[in-house]
Amino acid sequence: MPKALPMLDTTAALCCSPMAAAPLDEADALGIALRLKALADPVRVRLMSLIYARAQDGICTCDLAPAVGVSEATVSHHLKQLREAGLIEGTRKGTNNYYRPRPESLAALCQILNPRCSC
Amino acid sequence: MPKALPMLDTTAALCCSPMAAAPLDEADALGIALRLKALADPVRVRLMSLIYARAQDGICTCDLAPAVGVSEATVSHHLKQLREAGLIEGTRKGTNNYYRPRPESLAALCQILNPRCSC
């Protein structure tokens, strides 16, 4: 079971940037920083992009590894961090793990940060 | 002079998530990861929030340090990383440095990542 991160209030996050509206408290800042840290790696950014671009079908570790040019073991390590941060989800099919986006989680993070939210 | 990061195409970023539209290439992924890394720390997230919440007036290191409970030297170290990532800008007034948001840069980053861009 992936380690849970502190919850983000996705309801509050659905409209204009809480970050710019008032200073964030320590707990919220920690939750945001942990998610950003999970994303803040060039291989993980590419993995996110591959997974989000193949949202409907899911994509297996066996396809992700050659696409980013690292071993399946390294890809699995990166995917674990993205999964623990709630940014993707994984399901096992036969001998393969397939990954899908969790767009509501990534959108909430972006909307907390985005100072130009258009709503 | 802060070290320049690879440029983000903010024009392309102004509409629906390039990250989810097609897999990002290595250079774009690196540019995004470097900006995320600059943000991915609880103290830096709180500093960003304080700076973005005081957008019009700017805020000095002398006010930021007590607000986040660390020394001015530590705050300066964190601010340097945010400045180098293009997420804030600093100007000197007398003996103090004042910091202001660079919302176009943060908005571009969010819009590249956000899978729920409403445009």
Name which of A33, A107, A118 is nearest B45 (Cβ-Cβ): A33
Contacts of A114 (CB under 8 A, 6+ apart): A17, B106, B107, B110, B111, B114
Q: Determine, for residues B17 and A55 on separate chains, whether the beta-carbon distance falls below 8 Å.
A: no
Q: Which chain B residues touch A21 with a CB distance below 8 Å? A: 53
Q: Which residue has the higher pLDDT, A22 or A83?
A: A83
Rounded to two decimals, the pTM is 0.83
What confidence score (pLDDT) does residue B92 get? Answer: 92
**How does residue A15 score in pLDDT terms, banded at 50, 70 and 90?**
very low
B69-100: per-residue pLDDT in tens?
Answer: 999 999 999 999 999 999 999 999 899 899 99
In terms of residues, how long is chain B? 119
- Phi first, then psi: what are they for A101, rounded to 5°? -70, 160
- Which stretch of DSSP H or E encloses residue A45? helix A42-53
At B67, the pLDDT band (50, 70, 90 cuts) reads very high
Mutate one of B51, B113, B117, B118 to test the A interface: name it (highest A CB count within 10 A): B113
The predicted-structure confidence for A75-91, as pLDDT tens digits, reads as follows 999 999 999 999 999 99
CB contact under 8 A, A22 and B53: yes
Task: Give the pLDDT score at B10.
Answer: 43
- Complex ipTM: 0.82
Residues of A in contact with B66 (CB under 8 A): none
What is the pLDDT at residue B16? Answer: 57
Contacts of B53 in chain A (CB under 8 A): 19-23
B-chain residues within 8 Å CB-CB of A105? none
Q: Tell me if B82 sits within 8 A of B88, measured CB to CB.
A: yes
A23-36: average pLDDT: 92
The mean per-residue pLDDT over the stretch B49-74 comes to: 92
Confidence check: pLDDT of B35 > 60: yes
pLDDT higher than 70, residue A13 = no
Which of B56-60, B70-74, B100-104: highest mean pLDDT?
B70-74
pLDDT of residue B15: 41
Q: Does any CB of chain B come closer than 8 Å to the CB of residue A37? A: yes
Structure tokens that stand for A101 in this block:
């986006």
Contact: A52, B24; criterion CB under 8 Å: no
pLDDT higher for A1 or B36?
B36
| pLDDT confidence of residue B88 | 96
% of chain A beyond a pLDDT of 70: 83
Q: Which string of b and e fits A95-107 if b means at least 16 CB within 10 Å?
A: eebbbbbbbebbb
Instruction: Check residue A48 and give its pLDDT.
Output: 96
**Domain spans, chain A:** 23-113
Comparison of pLDDT for B48 and B7, the residue scoring more: B48
Check B23 against A118: CB less than 8 A apart. no
Task: Determine contact: A29 vs chain B, CB below 8 A.
Answer: yes
Class of domain B23-113: mainly alpha
Inter-chain CB proximity B104 and A110 less than 8 Å: no
CB-closest option in A21, A32, A118 to B53: A21
